[in-house]
């Protein structure tokens, strides 16, 4: 299976990031959520990101009539799951300070947008494939919607209506 994943992932460093995030996700969030919720989150985020990214490329093709959007881009990898992990960490520990500098503090709640900007910049310099930033953006959105409104908790409630987990803050 590792060889199959490696064959799909063109950039080795992206594969290493994917493996590291899955490992960190398991260590950090699985004890809080449980294995079943972790699997549900993984399936929902990855399926929705794949469908929405494909629809995005179909829409771009319809706008431009450029067949490269249909046949030269491959939706693969775990960019959406990386984004989902950053949103889940934002939910779990929003005010945790990662870096203090004279310019301000970098907190967990800043990480999703920071990583989206990094994904776009990585695409501009050619470090990732064209679908990566699109998948990352859809991963941010779908994971936030799921965690905000649909995730079931042991108390029987759904979602997280905390003010610090709003879309804009």
Measure the CA angle with vertex 117, ends 141 and 24; round to 5°: 65
As given in the structure block, the two tokens for residue 162 are: 């905390």
CB atoms within 10 A of CB 40: 16
- The answer on pLDDT for 16 being more than 60 is yes
- The answer on pLDDT for 4 being more than 60 is no
DSSP-derived secondary structure for the chain: -HHHHHHH-S-HHHHHHHHHHHHHHHHHTHHHH-HHHHHHHHHHHHHHHHHHHHHHHHHHHHHH--THHHHS----SSHHHHHHHHHHHHHHSTT-EEEEETTEEEEGGGHHHHHHHHHHHHHHTTSS-THHHHHHHHHHHHHHHIIIII-B-TTS-BS---GGGSS--
pLDDT of residue 123: 93
pLDDT of residue 1: 35
Please write the tens of the pLDDT for every residue from 110-120.
Answer: 899 999 999 99
As given in the structure block, the two tokens for residue 72 are: 């030269």
pLDDT of residue 10: 58
Contact yes or no for 135/49 (Cβ under 8 A): yes
What's the pTM? 0.85
CB atoms within 10 A of CB 24: 12
pLDDT of residue 168: 55
In angstroms, rounded to a whole number, what is the distance separating the alpha carbons of residues 154 and 37? 11
């Amino acid at each position: 299976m590792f060889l199959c994943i490696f064959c799909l992932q063109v950039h080795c460093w992206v594969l290493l990031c994917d493996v590291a995030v899955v490992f960190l996700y398991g260590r950090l969030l699985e004890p809080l959520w449980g294995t079943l919720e972790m699997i549900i989150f993984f399936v929902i985020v990855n399926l929705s990101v794949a469908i929405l990214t494909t629809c995005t490329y179909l829409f771009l093709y319809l706008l431009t009539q450029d067949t490269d959007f249909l046949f030269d881009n491959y939706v693969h990898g775990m960019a959406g799951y990386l984004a989902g992990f950053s949103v889940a960490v934002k939910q779990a520990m929003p005010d945790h300070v990662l870096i203090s500098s004279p310019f301000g503090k970098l907190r967990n709640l800043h990480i999703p947008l920071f990583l989206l900007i990094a994904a776009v910049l990585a695409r501009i310099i050619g470090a990732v494939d064209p679908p990566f930033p699109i998948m990352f953006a859809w991963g941010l959105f779908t994971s936030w919607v799921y965690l905000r409104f649909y995730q079931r908790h042991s108390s029987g409630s759904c979602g997280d209506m905390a003010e610090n987990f709003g879309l804009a803050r």
